[in-house]
C-alpha cells in the first residue's frame, strides 16, 4: 500500500469526471425506480394532522416500527419527508412516541432518551433534547410565550428517579424539572388545564400495582397536595393492563383491566372514584383484546369507544363522560361483526366520529347517537390488491362533515400483510407495501421464455405435410384474433418510435425484452414475506405473499435465493427451504427447518454426472453426512464457522467430507467476511494491453477468496487473499489504527479486489502516514490488482504452461514464486464511509467494471468506474504518452464522490445494505438492485456509457426527414447534373491504371502498419 | 486573562453543570436556500460519531458537548444539494473549548484554528451538486423543491386533497418538433443552396431584356464562363514590389499586366469571389 504525500493538491478528479458513468437528466426517474418505505405504521403513532394552523388540508403522519417518522401525502401516498429516529446499529425493540399538538406546526417525537421536534411541513428539526434516561411519556401544555406552540412535558426514568421536565416550545430550553424519588415505576403524564398529573405504578404489598397519581403545577412544577393512590392492585399486574390514559377528550381518564379481561375500571384522573364495567361477551364470544379509541382533540366532546376483539369477531361500546360527576356512562353498543375490524376516532370541532372498518365495509357513526351516518362497501380487491379480503389491524381516519348529512371519510388502514392503504369514501386511493421493509435477500430472475411458438413449430415439423399445413392454418387463424389490437396499436407505436416517446410503448406485460432489461426481482423479508418486483416496469409489485408464518418477534433468515428455470429456491436458516413459481408466487414445496438443530443450511453442488446434490452445513462450520455422489476430481466447499475459523472441505467420494485446510486469522482478530469472486464474472481478456503494445498478464484464479479479519482490541483490519483449493495465503495486508466500529467492506472480481475502512494513523505507522507532524485520518478506499508477474509479456514461473496446480507444486515452484502474484495497490481518500460494496456484471465482461458503493451518509448508491481506481495510475508525475494511450492519468489520493456518479441521483435511498447486479443482454449495461432494512432501489448502470444502444438524444424523425430531404434534393438536382457530354470528358492523366496500382500498394503498406491497432473503448 | 481564568474557575465551582457542557452551532450562509431534511452534520473520530440533522433555521446544533467528548474530529456535511468545505474540529479542556479549522482530505490542517463561541460559526459552501449529464436535444428539468411552499390543492374544500409541491418533478417529454430542424445550420445552408439553384433561373427569366443582356455580357467577360486564366490573383501578387514600397495603384497595374483580360471592376469582383 502506498499513500503518497501530495494530499493537499487540489482534486484533479473533477477533470476526469467524464470517464465515469453519468445519468442523463432525461433518464433519471425513468430507468430507475425506488420504493421509499417507512416500515409498519403503529396504531398509536399514525394520525392525520394539519401541518400548520393555516393549512386547510392535512397530511398523514406515522412513526413506524422501524422508527422512521414520515409524512405521507394522503392524495397519492407519496412520501413527503422521512426522518430516521434511530441509527441502524441501535436496537429497534423500544418503540417511539409521537405527539402532534393541535394547531401547531411541529411534531414531537421521543425515542430512548431523545426528544426531537420536527417541522411538520418539511421535516426539518426544530430542536432536540437529550435526557440521561429513557423517555416514558411526552405531553404538551399551553405555552405562555407563544400562542400557537405548546410546551413539552417529558417524563424520563433516570436510575430510580422519575424526572418530569417542562421544555420550552420554541427552543427546547428547560423551564423546570421535578424529581420524584419515590422509587415507583414511572408510567405516564397527563396534562389537564393548569395541572400535570404524573402517573406511576406503586408496587402493592402482595402482588400487582397501585396506580399513584401525583398532581403538579404546570407553570412551576411544584407538587400540589398528596398523591392519590388508586386501589388497582387487584387488576394491574403490568403496564399492559392499563388500556388508556389521556386528557384527549376533555376530561382526563385512565382505564385499566385485569389479566383475564373480565372487568374494566375507569377513573377520572385526580379523583378517587372508579367506575367498574363488566366486559360484555357478545353472542358467546369473549374478548381477547380490548382497545380504547378517543379523539386526540382536547376541545372535542368527552366520548370514547371501547373496542372488544374476539377470535373471529369484534364489537364496541361507546361511553360518555359526565364532566361534573367525573363518571363514565355507557351510551350505546356497536353490534358484533365477523372478522377482526378496526375502529378509529376523529373529531371535527366538538363532534366526535367513530369509523368502523371491516374487510367489506366502512361504517361511520357519531359518538352522540348509535345511528349510522353513512356506510360504504369496500371493494374486496382493494385490500392489498391481490389477495382475499383481509382483517384490518388498525386504522386512522379523518371525517369531514360537509353540512347536512354528507360526510367525507378517508381512512389509512394497516393490514396484516403489511400493506398500508388509504380508502376514501369506500374507494381505494393508494396502497403502500410497507410490509416489504426489512429485506434479507434478493435475486434477479429471468422471465420465463415464451416456449409456445417453438413447441408448435416443432410439432409441425414432426407431422406429415398435410397435417402440418392444417395445423399451421389453424394457428394462423387463431392468431388473427390479435390482429385488430395489433393494427390498432400500430399507428401509436410507429408514431411513438418516431417521436421518441418511449412511455407510450412501455411494455406492461411480463415478457422478455430485446435488451434484457426486463427481469423479475425476487425479494424475501424478515417477516416471512416473499415478493416479486418487475424491474422492467418501475419496480411494480407483481405478487407479494406471506411465504412462512412466524410468531411475533421471530424473523425469517433467508440465506440465499437460487434461481432455476421458472422457479426459485429460497434457503433459510436451519435447512428450511421453499420453492416458488417466479411468475405467480405459487409455493410448490416447503420444507420447514430440519430437526437437526445445528444445521445451518445446505448448499447444492453438481456432481460429476451433472446431478444436483445437497451438502448439509452445520452452524459450527462442519459438514454433515454427504449423500452418495461422485465428485470426480473433487470439489472444495468452504465454510465459515462461528468460531472464526474458515475451513476447506474436500469432497471426492464417500459420505465423509475431508477437512483439507483450516484458516485462522492472526491472534486478536476475528473473521468478518469471506468473499469469493461473483458467480457470473466473465473475463474478456487474460492480459492487460499496455500502451507500448506489451501485455501484462492478469492473475486469474477462479478459486480466490478474500477474507476480511478485524481486530477490535488492537484496531486492525487484515485482508487475506486465499487459494481455496490449497488454503494457502497468497497475499495479505494489515491496516493499523482502524476504527472497527465504522463499516469495513470489501469485494473482489476478476483479478482485483477493493476494500474501504476508516483509519487514523498511530505511533506504529507514523513514518508512512504523518504529514507535517499531523496524524492522517479519514475514510480510505484501497484497490489492488493481481498480476502474474511485474514484467510485461512475462508470466513469471508459469512460463508457457497451460495448467498449474496450487496443491501439487513442481520442483521449480518450491521458491513460492508461483503462488504469489504481483500485487499493485493504491489508496484513495474518500469523503465518507461505504457500507456495502459490489461490482457491476455484464454479459461478456468486456465493459470496464464499476464499483457500486452504498454511501449511507448521503443516502445514495454510487458507481465508481474501475478506470478511476486503476492502481497503475502514475504517481507524482504526469503520464507518459503510452500511459495516456492506456487511459491512465496522474494519481491523486483524493477521490470525491462526484454527484454525477450517484446512481440514485436526487433520491433519498435510506437504509440499504446490499446491492445485487445482473447482466443485461447489452454488453454495456448491468442491472442493479439495492435493498436493505427499509428502501429498495433499482436501476441500470453503464460503466463506460451505453455504447451499444441509441440514446434518447437520437431522433428517428430527424433521420427520416434528412433522408427524405436528401432523396428529394437528389431527384430534383439530377436533371442539372445529367448535362449531355459531361461523361465524355477524358480521364485525367493522374488516374491512369499503373498509378492506381501504386496507390493501392501504398495503402496495403499502411494497413500493415496498422496491424497492431488495439481495440479501445471510449465512453460515448 | 488571569482574572478571566479565575472567574472561570469560580463559575465552575458555582455552576458545575453549566460549564461542563457546551453546544456547538454551525450555520449555513444566508444565501443558501433551505436544505433538504436529510442534510446532516457528522463529527467523526476514532470510535465515535456524532450527528446533528439540519434545523428549521438552516443550521446544525450539537448539544451537550462535554469534556468527555474531547478529541479531534472531522466535520462533514452530508447534503444532497451542496458540497461543503471540509473542516476539522477539536474539543478539548474544560468547558470544553471547541476549535474549528479547515482541513484537506485526510484531516490535515490547512487554516488557522478558530475558537467557536456561543454564537456559532458559518460554514462555507463549495459548490452546488450537479447530478445530471446534459444531453443535447433534450429539455428536461427534474426539480425537487424542498423548502417550497405547500400548495393547497383542496379545491372542493372537503379536506381530502392533501398537499402537493413537495417533490414536483417537472419532466417534460422530449418534444422533437419539425421546426427544431430549421435551427440546424446545415439545414439552413441546404435550404439557401436549394433556393439559389431553383431561384436563379427563374430570376433570370424575369429580368428585363436590357438588364439581361448586360448581365450576359458581364458573364461572358467573367472568368467563370470565359475560359480565361483561372489562376489565383494572389499568385500574381508582386511581393517584392509591394515590399519595396510601390503604391497601391502601381500594384494594381502590375496585376493587370499579369495577363488578366478583365477590367478593374472585373478584378474587384473576382477578388470578392
- A121 contacts in B (CB within 8 Å)? 150
**The pLDDT value given to residue A178:** 92
Of A692, A421, A450, nearest to A583 by C-alpha is A450
B119 vs A914: which has the higher pLDDT: A914
Q: Would you tell me which residues 789-808 of chain A have a C-beta closer than 8 angstroms to some C-beta of chain B?
A: none
Per-residue pLDDT reduced to its tens digit, A218-245: 888 899 888 888 888 888 888 888 998 8
| CA angle, residues A601, A603, A604, in degrees to nearest 5 | 145
Q: How far apart are the first and last CA of chain B?
A: 87
The nearest CA of chain B is from the CA of A768 a distance in Å of 13
| Length reported for chain A | 1020
- A774–chain B Cβ distance below 8 A for any pair: yes
Q: Would you tell me which residues 718-737 of chain A have a C-beta closer than 8 angstroms to some C-beta of chain B?
A: 737
Per-residue pLDDT reduced to its tens digit, B32-73: 998 999 999 999 998 888 999 999 999 999 988 888 888 889
Of A23, A73, A965, the CB nearest to B132: A23
- Residue A594, number of CB atoms within 10 A of its CB: 15
Residues of chain A with pLDDT > 90, as a percent, come to: 31
User: Going edge to edge, which strands form the sheet with A274-278?
Assistant: A242-246, A253-257, A263-268, A274-278
- Are the CB atoms for A173 and A167 separated by under 8 Å? yes
Cβ pair B55:A130 closer than 8 A: no
Of A747, A754, A723, A750, nearest to A818 by C-alpha is A723
Cβ contacts of A26 within 8 Å, gap of 6 or more: A952, B135, B138, B140, B171, B174
Cβ contacts of A69 within 8 Å, gap of 6 or more: A61, A62, A63, A82, A83, A84, A85, A96, A98, A107, A109, A118, A123
Give the Å distances, CA to CA, from A862 to A23, A82, A840, A909, B160. 11, 21, 12, 11, 38
Backbone dihedral angles phi then psi of residue B101, each to the nearest 5 degrees: -155, 160
- Residue in A with minimal Cα distance to B37: A124
Cβ contacts of A857 within 8 Å, gap of 6 or more: A832, A833, B40, B42, B76, B78
- Residue A115, number of CB atoms within 10 A of its CB: 24
- A74–chain B Cβ distance below 8 A for any pair: yes
- Are the CB atoms for B174 and A952 separated by under 8 Å? yes
Per-residue pLDDT reduced to its tens digit, A838-875: 999 999 999 999 999 999 999 999 999 998 899 999 99
Of A125, A400, A951, the CB nearest to B159: A400
One DSSP character per residue, A22-76 reads -EETTTTTTT-EEE----PEEEEEEEEE-SSTT-SS-EEEEEETT-EEEEE-TTT
The predicted model scores a pTM of 0.81
- Are the CB atoms for A625 and A608 separated by under 8 Å? no
**The pLDDT value given to residue B2:** 46
Per-residue pLDDT reduced to its tens digit, A615-644: 888 888 888 777 777 777 777 888 888 788
Of A607, A784, A26, nearest to B135 by C-alpha is A26
Of B105, B137, B159, the CB nearest to A778: B105
Backbone dihedral angles phi then psi of residue A800, each to the nearest 5 degrees: -100, 15
Cβ pair A74:B162 closer than 8 A: yes
- Residue A810, number of CB atoms within 10 A of its CB: 11
User: Going edge to edge, which strands form the sheet with A836-839?
Assistant: A836-839, A850-855, A860-865
- Are the CB atoms for A736 and A762 separated by under 8 Å? yes
- B63 contacts in A (CB within 8 Å)? 128-130
- Max CA-CA distance within chain B? 115
Quick one: residue A473, left, alpha or beta (phi over 0 = left, psi -120 to 50 = alpha)?
Answer: alpha
d(CA A413, CA A428): 11
Of A57, A829, A908, the CB nearest to B105: A829
Of A129, A739, A905, the CB nearest to B132: A905
The nearest CA of chain A is from the CA of B135 a distance in Å of 7
Lowest model confidence (mean pLDDT) among A117-126, A698-707, A856-865, B12-21: B12-21
CATH number of A439-447+519-593: 2.40.10.480
Cβ pair B108:A25 closer than 8 A: no
Residue matched to cell numbers 474540529? B89
Cβ pair A908:B80 closer than 8 A: yes
- A397–chain B Cβ distance below 8 A for any pair: no
Chain Cα centroid distance, residue A640: 26
Mean per-residue pLDDT for A105-132?
Answer: 91
Backbone dihedral angles phi then psi of residue A558, each to the nearest 5 degrees: -85, 125
User: ipTM of this model?
Assistant: 0.83
Best of A122, A127, A974 to substitute, by most chain B Cβ atoms within 10 angstroms, is A122
- A352–chain B Cβ distance below 8 A for any pair: no
Cβ pair A715:B63 closer than 8 A: no
- Whether residue B222 is predicted with pLDDT greater than 80 in this model: the reply is no
Question: What three-state secondary structure class fits A817?
Answer: coil
The nearest CA of chain A is from the CA of B113 a distance in Å of 14
Cβ contacts of A753 within 8 Å, gap of 6 or more: A675, A706, A719, A721, A746, A747, A783, A784
Cβ pair A28:B154 closer than 8 A: no
- A949–chain B Cβ distance below 8 A for any pair: no
Of A896, A895, A119, A858, nearest to B79 by C-alpha is A858
Three-class HEC string of A538-577: CCEEEEEEECCCCCCCCCCCEEEEEECCCEEEEEEHHHCE
Best of B20, B42, B45, B108 to substitute, by most chain A Cβ atoms within 10 angstroms, is B108
B227 vs A861: which has the higher pLDDT: A861
Per-residue pLDDT reduced to its tens digit, A1-49: 343 433 333 333 333 444 556 788 878 888 899 999 999 999 989 999 9
**The pLDDT value given to residue A3:** 38
Lowest model confidence (mean pLDDT) among A575-584, A603-612, A753-762, B102-111: A603-612
- Are the CB atoms for A78 and A94 separated by under 8 Å? no
Mean per-residue pLDDT for A301-306?
Answer: 90
Give the Å distances, CA to CA, from B9 to A662, B3, B6, B12, B116. 61, 10, 5, 5, 20
Backbone dihedral angles phi then psi of residue A941, each to the nearest 5 degrees: -130, 130
- Are the CB atoms for A873 and A888 separated by under 8 Å? yes
Cβ pair B178:A957 closer than 8 A: yes
All cell numbers assigned to B272: 470578392
Of A7, A57, A859, the CB nearest to B163: A57
**The pLDDT value given to residue B136:** 53
**The pLDDT value given to residue A60:** 95
Nearest 10 degrees: Cα torsion A70, A72, A77, A83? -20
- Domain map of chain A by residue range? 1-30+667-947, 439-447+519-593, 598-664, 956-1009
HSE-up (13 A, CA, CB side) for residue B140: 24
A717 vs B263: which has the higher pLDDT: A717
Cβ pair B53:A125 closer than 8 A: yes
Cβ pair B56:A969 closer than 8 A: no
**The pLDDT value given to residue B167:** 33
Per-residue pLDDT reduced to its tens digit, A507-561: 566 777 778 888 999 999 998 999 999 988 888 888 888 888 888 778 888 888 9
- A478–chain B Cβ distance below 8 A for any pair: no
Of B45, B108, B171, the CB nearest to A776: B108
Paired with A153 in beta bridges are: A139, A166
Per-residue pLDDT reduced to its tens digit, A933-989: 899 999 999 888 888 887 776 777 888 899 999 999 889 888 777 665 555 555 455
**The pLDDT value given to residue A93:** 63
- Are the CB atoms for A316 and A305 separated by under 8 Å? yes
- Residue A1, number of CB atoms within 10 A of its CB: 15
Of B46, B138, B146, the CB nearest to A26: B138
**The pLDDT value given to residue A926:** 93
Q: Does the CA dihedral A5-A9-A11-A13 come out positive or negative?
A: negative
- Residue in A with minimal Cα distance to B136: A953
Paired with A411 in beta bridges are: A397, A423
Give the Å distances, CA to CA, from A367 to A44, A320, A350, A412, A768. 20, 8, 10, 20, 76
Of A78, A127, A953, the CB nearest to B167: A78
- B154 contacts in A (CB within 8 Å)? 56-57
B122 vs A460: which has the higher pLDDT: B122
Mean pLDDT (chain A, rounded): 83
- Whether residue A322 is predicted with pLDDT greater than 70 in this model: the reply is yes
- Residue A848, number of CB atoms within 10 A of its CB: 21
Per-residue pLDDT reduced to its tens digit, A249-260: 668 889 999 888
- Whether residue A993 is predicted with pLDDT greater than 60 in this model: the reply is no
Q: Does the CA dihedral A279-A283-A288-A291 come out positive or negative?
A: negative
Best of B35, B45, B87, B107 to substitute, by most chain A Cβ atoms within 10 angstroms, is B107
Residues of chain B with pLDDT > 90, as a percent, come to: 17
Best of B36, B90, B106 to substitute, by most chain A Cβ atoms within 10 angstroms, is B106
d(CA A555, CA A575): 15
- Residue in A with minimal Cα distance to B171: A26
Cβ pair B105:A902 closer than 8 A: no
d(CA A129, CA A144): 20
Q: Would you tell me which residues 242-261 of chain A have a C-beta closer than 8 angstroms to some C-beta of chain B?
A: none
Cβ contacts of A381 within 8 Å, gap of 6 or more: A428
- Whether residue B252 is predicted with pLDDT greater than 70 in this model: the reply is no
- Whether residue B151 is predicted with pLDDT greater than 50 in this model: the reply is no
Per-residue pLDDT reduced to its tens digit, A363-421: 999 988 888 888 888 865 555 445 556 788 899 999 988 877 788 999 999 988 888 99
Best of B118, B159, B174 to substitute, by most chain A Cβ atoms within 10 angstroms, is B159
**The pLDDT value given to residue A964:** 95
- Whether residue B144 is predicted with pLDDT greater than 50 in this model: the reply is no
d(CA B219, CA B216): 5
Cβ pair B76:A857 closer than 8 A: yes
**The pLDDT value given to residue B7:** 47
Cβ contacts of B1 within 8 Å, gap of 6 or more: none
Exposure string of A849-868, with b = 16+ CB inside 10 Å and e = fewer, is bbbbbbbbbbbbbbbbbbbb
User: Do the bridges between strand B108-109 and strand B97-104 make them parallel or antiparallel, or are there none, so unpaired?
Assistant: antiparallel
Nearest 10 degrees: Cα torsion A294, A296, A302, A304? 0
HSE-up (13 A, CA, CB side) for residue B118: 2
| CA angle, residues A168, A169, A175, in degrees to nearest 5 | 10
Cβ pair A500:B147 closer than 8 A: no
The nearest CA of chain B is from the CA of A414 a distance in Å of 19
Amino acid at each position: 500500500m502506498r499513500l503518497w504525500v501530495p494530499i493537499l493538491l487540489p482534486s484533479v478528479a473533477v477533470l476526469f469526471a467524464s470517464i465515469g458513468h453519468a445519468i442523463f437528466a432525461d433518464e433519471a426517474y425513468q430507468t430507475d425506480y425506488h420504493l421509499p418505505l417507512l416500515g409498519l405504521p403503529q396504531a398509536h403513532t399514525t394520525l392525520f394532522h394539519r401541518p400548520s394552523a393555516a393549512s386547510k388540508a392535512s397530511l398523514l403522519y406515522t412513526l413506524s416500527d422501524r422508527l422512521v417518522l414520515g409524512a405521507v401525502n394522503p392524495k397519492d401516498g407519496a412520501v413527503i419527508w422521512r426522518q430516521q429516529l434511530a441509527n441502524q446499529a441501535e436496537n429497534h425493540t423500544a418503540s417511539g412516541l409521537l405527539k402532534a399538538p393541535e394547531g401547531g406546526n411541529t411534531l414531537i417525537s421521543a425515542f430512548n432518551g431523545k426528544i426531537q421536534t420536527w417541522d411538520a411541513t418539511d421535516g426539518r428539526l426544530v430542536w432536540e433534547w437529550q435526557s440521561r434516561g429513557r423517555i416514558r411519556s411526552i405531553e404538551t401544555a399551553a405555552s405562555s410565550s407563544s400562542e400557537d406552540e405548546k410546551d413539552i412535558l417529558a417524563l424520563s426514568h433516570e436510575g430510580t428517579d422519575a424526572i418530569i421536565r417542562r421544555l420550552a416550545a420554541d427552543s427546547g430550553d428547560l423551564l423546570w424539572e421535578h424529581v420524584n424519588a419515590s422509587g415507583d415505576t414511572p408510567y405516564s403524564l397527563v396534562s389537564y388545564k393548569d395541572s400535570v398529573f404524573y402517573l406511576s405504578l406503586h408496587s402493592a404489598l402482595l402482588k400487582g400495582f397501585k396506580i399513584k397519581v401525583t398532581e403538579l403545577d404546570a407553570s412551576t412544577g411544584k407538587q400540589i397536595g398528596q398523591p392519590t393512590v388508586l386501589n388497582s392492585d387487584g387488576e394491574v399486574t403490568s403496564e399492559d393492563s392499563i388500556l388508556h390514559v389521556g386528557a384527549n377528550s376533555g376530561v382526563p381518564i385512565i382505564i385499566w383491566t385485569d389479566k383475564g379481561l373480565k372487568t374494566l375500571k375507569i377513573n377520572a384522573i385526580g379523583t378517587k372514584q372508579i367506575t367498574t364495567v363488566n366486559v360484555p361477551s357478545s353472542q358467546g364470544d369473549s374478548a381477547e383484546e380490548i382497545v380504547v379509541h378517543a379523539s386526540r382533540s382536547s376541545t372535542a366532546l368527552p366520548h370514547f369507544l371501547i373496542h372488544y376483539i374476539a377470535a373471529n369477531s369484534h364489537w364496541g361500546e361507546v361511553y360518555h363522560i359526565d364532566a361534573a360527576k367525573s363518571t363514565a356512562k355507557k351510551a350505546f353498543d356497536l353490534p358484533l361483526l365477523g372478522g377482526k375490524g378496526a375502529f378509529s376516532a376523529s373529531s371535527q370541532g366538538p363532534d366526535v366520529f367513530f369509523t368502523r372498518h371491516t374487510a367489506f365495509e366502512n361504517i361511520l357513526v357519531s359518538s352522540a347517537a348509535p345511528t349510522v351516518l353513512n356506510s360504504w362497501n369496500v371493494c374486496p380487491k382493494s385490500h392489498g390488491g391481490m389477495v382475499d379480503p383481509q382483517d384490518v389491524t388498525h386504522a386512522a381516519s379523518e371525517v369531514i362533515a360537509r353540512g347536512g348529512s354528507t360526510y367525507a371519510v378517508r381512512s389509512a388502514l394497516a393490514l396484516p400483510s403489511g400493506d398500508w392503504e388509504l380508502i376514501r369514501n369506500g374507494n381505494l386511493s393508494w396502497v403502500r407495501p410497507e410490509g416489504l421493509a426489512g429485506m434479507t435477500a434478493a435475486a434477479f430472475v429471468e422471465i420465463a421464455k415464451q416456449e409456445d411458438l417453438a413447441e408448435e413449430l416443432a410439432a409441425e415439423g414432426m407431422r406429415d405435410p398435410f397435417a402440418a399445413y392444417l395445423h399451421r392454418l389453424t394457428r394462423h387463424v387463431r392468431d388473427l384474433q390479435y390482429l385488430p389490437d395489433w393494427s390498432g396499436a400500430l399507428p401509436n407505436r410507429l408514431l411513438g418510435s418516431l417521436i421518441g416517446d418511449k412511455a407510450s410503448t412501455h411494455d406492461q406485460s411480463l415478457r422478455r425484452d430485446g435488451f434484457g432489461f426486463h427481469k423479475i426481482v425476487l425479494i424475501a423479508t424478515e417477516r416471512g414475506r416473499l415478493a416479486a418486483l418487475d424491474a422492467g416496469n418501475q419496480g411494480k409489485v407483481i405478487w407479494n405473499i406471506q411465504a412462512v408464518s412466524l410468531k411475533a418477534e421471530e424473523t425469517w433468515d433467508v440465506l440465499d435465493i437460487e434461481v432455476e428455470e421458472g422457479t426459485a429456491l429460497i434457503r433459510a436458516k436451519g435447512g428450511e427451504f421453499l420453492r416458488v413459481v417466479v411468475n405467480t408466487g405459487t409455493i410448490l414445496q416447503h420444507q420447514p427447518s430440519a430437526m437437526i438443530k445445528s444445521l445451518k443450511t445446505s448448499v447444492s453442488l453438481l456432481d460429476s454426472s451433472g446431478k444436483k446434490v445437497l451438502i448439509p452445513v452445520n452452524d459450527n462450520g462442519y459438514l454433515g453426512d454427504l449423500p452418495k455422489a461422485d465428485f470426480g476430481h473433487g470439489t472444495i466447499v468452504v465454510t465459515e464457522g462461528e468460531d472464526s475459523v474458515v475451513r476447506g472441505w474436500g469432497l471426492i467420494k464417500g459420505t465423509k467430507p475431508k477437512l483439507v485446510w483450516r484458516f485462522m486469522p492472526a491472534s486478536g482478530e476475528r473473521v468478518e467476511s469471506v468473499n469469493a469472486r461473483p458467480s457470473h464474472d466473465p473475463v474478456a481478456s487474460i492480459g492487460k494491453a499496455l500502451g507500448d503494445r506489451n501485455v501484462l498478464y492478469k492473475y486469474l484464479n477462479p478459486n480466490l477468496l478474500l477474507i476480511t479479519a478485524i481486530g477490535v482490541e488492537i484496531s486492525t483490519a487484515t485482508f487475506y487473499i486465499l487459494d481455496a483449493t490449497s488454503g494457502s495465503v497468497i497475499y495479505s495486508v494489515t491496516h493499523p489504527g482502524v476504527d472497527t466500529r465504522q463499516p469495513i467492506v470489501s469485494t473482489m472480481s476478476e483479478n482485483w479486489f477493493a476494500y474501504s475502512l476508516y483509519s487514523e494513523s498511530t505511533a506504529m505507522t507514523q513514518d508512512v502516514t504523518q504529514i507535517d507532524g499531523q496524524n492522517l485520518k479519514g475514510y480510505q478506499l484501497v484497490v489492488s490488482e493481481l498480476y502474474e508477474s511485474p514484467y510485461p509479456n512475462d508470466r513469471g514461473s508459469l512460463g508457457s504452461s497451460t495448467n498449474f496446480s496450487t496443491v501439487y507444486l513442481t520442483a521449480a515452484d518450491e521458491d513460492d514464486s508461483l503462488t504469489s502474484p504481483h500485487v499493485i495497490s493504491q489508496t484513495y481518500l474518500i469523503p465518507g464511509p461505504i457500507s456495502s460494496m459490489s461490482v457491476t456484471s455484464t454479459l461478456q465482461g468486456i465493459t470496464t467494471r464499476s464499483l457500486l458503493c452504498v454511501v449511507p451518509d448521503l443516502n445514495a448508491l454510487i458507481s465508481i468506474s474501475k478506470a478511476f481506481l486503476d492502481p497503475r495510475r502514475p504517481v507524482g508525475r504526469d503520464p507518459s504518452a503510452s500511459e495516456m494511450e492506456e487511459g491512465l492519468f496522474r494519481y491523486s489520493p483524493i477521490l470525491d464522490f462526484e454527484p454525477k456518479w450517484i446512481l440514485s441521483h436526487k433520491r433519498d435511498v435510506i437504509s440499504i445494505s446490499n446491492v445485487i447486479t445482473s447482466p443485461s443482454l447489452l454488453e454495456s449495461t448491468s442491472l442493479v438492485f439495492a435493498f436493505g432494512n427499509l428502501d429498495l432501489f433499482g436501476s441500470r448502470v453503464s460503466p463506460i456509457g451505453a455504447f451499444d444502444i441509441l440514446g434518447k438524444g437520437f431522433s428517428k424523425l430527424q433521420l427520416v426527414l434528412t433522408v427524405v430531404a436528401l432523396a428529394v434534393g437528389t431527384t430534383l438536382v439530377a436533371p442539372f447534373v445529367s448535362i449531355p457530354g459531361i461523361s465524355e470528358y477524358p480521364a485525367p492523366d493522374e488516374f491512369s491504371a499503373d498509378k492506381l496500382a501504386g496507390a493501392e500498394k501504398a495503402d496495403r503498406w499502411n494497413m500493415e502498419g496498422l496491424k497492431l491497432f488495439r481495440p479501445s473503448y471510449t465512453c460515448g | 486573562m488571569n482574572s478571566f481564568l479565575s472567574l472561570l474557575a469560580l463559575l465552575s465551582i458555582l455552576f458545575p453543570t453549566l460549564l461542563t457542557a457546551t453546544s456547538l452551532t454551525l450555520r449555513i450562509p444566508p444565501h443558501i436556500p433551505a436544505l433538504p431534511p436529510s442534510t446532516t452534520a457528522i463529527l467523526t473520530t476514532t470510535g465515535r460519531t456524532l450527528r446533528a440533522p439540519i434545523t428549521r433555521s438552516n443550521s446544525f446544533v450539537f448539544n451537550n458537548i462535554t469534556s468527555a467528548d474531547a478529541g479531534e474530529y472531522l466535520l462533514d456535511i452530508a447534503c444532497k444539494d451542496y458540497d461543503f468545505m471540509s473542516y476539522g474540529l477539536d474539543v478539548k479542556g474544560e468547558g470544553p473549548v471547541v476549535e474549528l479549522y479547515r482541513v484537506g482530505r485526510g484531516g490535515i490542517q490547512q487554516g488557522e484554528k478558530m475558537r467557536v463561541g456561543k454564537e456559532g460559526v458559518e460554514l462555507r459552501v463549495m459548490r452546488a451538486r450537479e447530478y445530471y449529464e446534459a444531453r443535447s436535444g433534450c429539455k428536461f428539468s427534474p426539480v425537487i423543491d424542498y423548502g417550497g411552499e405547500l400548495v393547497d390543492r383542496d379545491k372542493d374544500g372537503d379536506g381530502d386533497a392533501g398537499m402537493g409541491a413537495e417533490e414536483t418533478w417537472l419532466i417534460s417529454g422530449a418534444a422533437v418538433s419539425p421546426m427544431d430542424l430549421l435551427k440546424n445550420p446545415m439545414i439552413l445552408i441546404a435550404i439557401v443552396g436549394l433556393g439559389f439553384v431553383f431561384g436563379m433561373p427563374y430570376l433570370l427569366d424575369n429580368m428585363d431584356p436590357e438588364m439581361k443582356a448586360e448581365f450576359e455580357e458581364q458573364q461572358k467577360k467573367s472568368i467563370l464562363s470565359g475560359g480565361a486564366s483561372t489562376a489565383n490573383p494572389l499568385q500574381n501578387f508582386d511581393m517584392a514590389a509591394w515590399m519595396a514600397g510601390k503604391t497601391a495603384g502601381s500594384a494594381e497595374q502590375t496585376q493587370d499586366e499579369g495577363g488578366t483580360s478583365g477590367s478593374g471592376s472585373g478584378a474587384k469582383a473576382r477578388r470578392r469571389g
